[in-house]
Amino acid sequence: MGIRLVVGLGNPGKEYERTRHNAGFWLVERFAQANGIALRKDPKFKALVGKTAGGVWLLQPQTFMNLSGQPVQMLAGFFKLKPEEVLVVHDELDFEPGVARLKQGGGIAGHNGLKDISQRLASHDYWRLRLGVGKPPPGREGADYVLEKPPAEEKSAIDAAIDKALALLPAMLAGDMQGAMNKLHTEEKPPAKKEPEKKTPPVKEPVKKEPERKAAVPAAEAAAKPAETKPEKKGLFGIFGKK
């Protein structure tokens, strides 16, 4: 079963358009622009509404976050859409900027937009595309944090996550949720850096000292050299003479 309604959550008005809470709006707007879809205000549904060439509805509630479920309920009821045919895109405090995750059902983690949608649809079975915006610093309330503009570095990371999600959105609309999840949840790791090979210096073999050789005496010189004579042993008669 494919997706027939994509809901981007956020707050209407210039003062909110760049805040973290409008991450869902950002994705739907970029998808509409990339596909040449006009999002027009429809008073009947209290939302900006558009439609893809394949018949999938795009919805941006204009009732503020706490009442997001009202437009979703009205459009889903009018076109007889089931909760599992609805994909809600929203900001997520539990993930760092740059992370995007897809799931069906589960808890709402204190998100007021999800809370209202679940109550009005009487179901948690709709799909959720969660865009990480990071946790507030210690001592800060989440409600205030999401209504602030993220610094440039965080915004760049959120945009990168939106890019990755948009690349997989056609698969989600076609109903290949498992395939989209597998790719979306796979972290791309940079290739491992190869350490330069350490060249070991060649081992120098100890120089072997050759035994000293005595110079050979030439044969002619040896022949000319008189033979050594042993001293003659003289006895007592040799010393005193013979009598």
> Hey, which residues are catalytic here?
21
Name which of 133, 132, 129, 126 is nearest 168 in CA terms. 129
Name which of 181, 167, 70 is nearest 128 in CA terms. 181
